[in-house]
């Protein structure tokens, strides 16, 4: 069987390492991708094609975390300037700035897109009501003993977070108390909540682990060939992607851990990977300052790849005619 070579779409524009990515849901206008970069200027792109839509300007330091609401009307960013910002993604304007006492590493919207969570090097998780942005945090949880890398809303009024203190912790929002703690032998570099809210994907050391959000029970864990900085589970849960120190983007069978693809295109370590909401592609962001889009099924006519497929088909027709 012949496997087609991946030809990723390369999205430039950033001037420093890309460290985080987030997709919106599928909307009537397709879906959208936002990238966080150490250049301090998050960028919004059309998800299917990587076409640049706009740049959010206003931070005065590296941006570490980004998020989009499901309908892509709002975006959030957390930065080294000790702030998180809420943006009108349609016009690129700042809606509100949430001041913090240290670097904000992670931002996340809840399922209803009316709450914003921030997590910072203060070791504190804050929750803001977006209908009352000026009121300050409605919840404040002193969460870890070291800097927090990522935090996300779970269902049933819970929050999950991972930290440099080598733990993942689950918090009850009503009481602010820790419910569960998972310890790792290495720093958990990334944590992703699956699109259906049922699975947490955690990358640590050279491993990727998957946890049920209901029980926080580990369902699977697979080793990868490099120090893993990020991993993402496909919406249908048939596969996951992982990437890190060795510049490659790996794709694996979720159920067996079998390597399906290994693609190289970046010129620096890969800091973040994210699967699109329709499952057709996954995105990667790197130390080289680029975002690259990879097809789930190489060669399928989709997005900008459709043009390549059309050109190829036309070429065959011309050859046949001659």
Cβ pair 63, 35 in contact under 8 A: no
pLDDT tens-digit series, residues 73-105: 999 999 999 999 999 999 999 999 999 999 999
Buried b (16+ CB within 10 A) or exposed e, 157-170: ebbbbbbbbbbbbb
Candidates 107, 137, 142, 110; CA nearest to 125 is 142
Helix (H) or strand (E) holding 306: helix 304-321
Percent of the chain with pLDDT over 90: 87
Cβ pair 116, 109 in contact under 8 A: yes
Half-sphere exposure (Cβ direction) of 272: Cα atoms closer than 13 Å: 25
pLDDT tens-digit series, residues 227-256: 999 999 999 999 999 999 999 999 999 999
Long-range contacts of 29-32 (CB under 8 A, 24+ apart): 29/72, 31/72, 31/276, 31/277, 31/278, 32/68, 32/72, 32/89
Q: Which domains are seen in the chain, by residue range?
A: 11-321 (2.130.10.10)
Better-scored residue on pLDDT, 135 or 49: 49
Q: Write down the pLDDT at residue 308.
A: 52
pLDDT tens-digit series, residues 50-72: 999 999 999 999 999 999 999 99
Q: Write down the pLDDT at residue 317.
A: 37
CA distance 322 to 314: 12
pLDDT tens-digit series, residues 174-198: 999 999 999 999 999 999 999 999 9
pLDDT tens-digit series, residues 256-315: 999 999 999 899 999 999 999 999 999 999 999 999 999 998 888 888 887 554 443 333
Q: Write down the pLDDT at residue 3.
A: 59
Please compute Rg for the chain using Cα positions: 19
Q: Write down the pLDDT at residue 171.
A: 97
Q: Write down the pLDDT at residue 201.
A: 98
Half-sphere exposure (Cβ direction) of 322: Cα atoms closer than 13 Å: 5
């Amino acid at each position: 069987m012949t496997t087609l070579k991946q030809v990723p779409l390369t999205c430039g524009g950033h001037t420093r390492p890309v460290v985080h990515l987030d997709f919106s849901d599928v909307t009537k206008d397709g879906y959208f991708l936002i990238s966080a970069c150490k250049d301090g200027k998050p960028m919004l792109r059309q998800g299917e094609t990587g076409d640049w839509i706009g740049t959010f300007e206003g931070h005065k330091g590296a941006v570490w975390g980004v998020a989009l609401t499901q309908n892509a009307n709002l975006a959030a960013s957390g930065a080294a300037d000790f702030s998180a910002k809420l943006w009108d993604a349609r016009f690129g304007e700042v809606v509100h700035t949430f001041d913090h006492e240290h670097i904000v590493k992670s931002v996340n919207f809840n399922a209803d897109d009316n709450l914003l969570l921030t997590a910072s090097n203060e070791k504190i998780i804050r929750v803001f009501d977006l209908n009352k942005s000026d009121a300050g945090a409605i919840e404040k949880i002193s969460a870890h003993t070291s800097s927090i890398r990522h935090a996300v809303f779970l269902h049933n009024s819970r929050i999950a977070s991972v930290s440099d203190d080598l733990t993942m912790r689950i918090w009850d929002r009503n009481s602010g108390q820790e419910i569960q703690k998972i310890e790792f032998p290495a720093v958990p570099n990334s944590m992703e909540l699956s699109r259906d809210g049922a699975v947490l994907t955690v990358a640590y050391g050279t491993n990727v682990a998957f946890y049920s959000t209901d029980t926080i029970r580990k369902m699977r864990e697979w080793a990868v060939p490099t120090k893993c900085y990020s991993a993402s589970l496909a919406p249908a849960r048939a596969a996951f992607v992982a990437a890190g120190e060795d510049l490659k983007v790996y794709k694996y069978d979720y159920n067996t851990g079998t390597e399906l693809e290994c693609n190289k295109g970046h010129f620096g370590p890969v800091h973040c990977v994210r699967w699109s909401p329709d499952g057709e592609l996954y995105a990667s962001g790197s130390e080289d300052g680029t975002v690259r889009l990879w097809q789930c099924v190489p060669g399928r006519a989709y997005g900008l790849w459709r043009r390549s497929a059309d050109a190829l088909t036309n070429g065959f027709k011309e050859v046949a005619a001659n």
